Chains A and B, each alone.
Chain A
Amino acid sequence: MSISRIACAGLGLAVVAACAVAPTSPERSPLGGYGRAATARELAAWDISVPPTGAGLPAGGATAKQGEAVYVAKCVACHGEKGAGKPADVLVGGIGSLATPNALRTVGSFWPYATTLFDYVRRAMPITNPMSLSDQETYAVTAYLLHLNGIIAENDEMNAKTLPQVKMPNRDGFVDWSRK
């Protein structure tokens, strides 16, 4: 209160009345408005998340055939040959196993959306050098993993249009608990 009065002292009678009231009302704080407008360039660079609709997927596209070389160069050390796993997660197999005592949850058997695979590879992989894959390489390795799981053919191109249309085997395997 006293600080704001000092600040307002030289501003004339009309504003003194307003300044003296403002700081005492917690419901309508005079504080705020310290953010600045985001630029179009910032929004384009920062928005890397891909929803199931595929909105925001980049241009380009690639096939599993092209993805094998990327996988061998960048992924095999952690995820094993053909996605067999160790030391990191198994990426292939387990389709149909989820209701059995030996459920194997992989990209193929468990992940509900193919867009999640592109999103996660682009933001986080490879773990030693995240965000180092080009969009083309990301499409390629995404296609390779979908093909290893028998979900798409070797020459099916994954791009902004085709990737969101891929129906994952466990697409309907999740129950929304957010309202429980």
Chain B
Amino acid sequence: MRRDRLHALAIVAAALLTAACASSEEWATWKEHPSHFASGEHLAFSIRNRSGAPTRVTREDIALARSQGWWGKPITVSTEQILEK
């Protein structure tokens, strides 16, 4: 997990070093790589495929991977600032 985090940080750092205003080309590039939007796929595989054998991923696997990958309480706007119960 620690190695995964370092890997993710390295990717983010590289992204910031090359950051610029979005062009249509960049927008299109992002749209063409939807795998960026399903880290559950990656995380679940990291849990179940350690033996190297291809396998199926269940929703429970994804929930487990997500809980293990959680980085702590986020800084974010609270729902109470947006909505009233």
Is A bound to B?
A: no
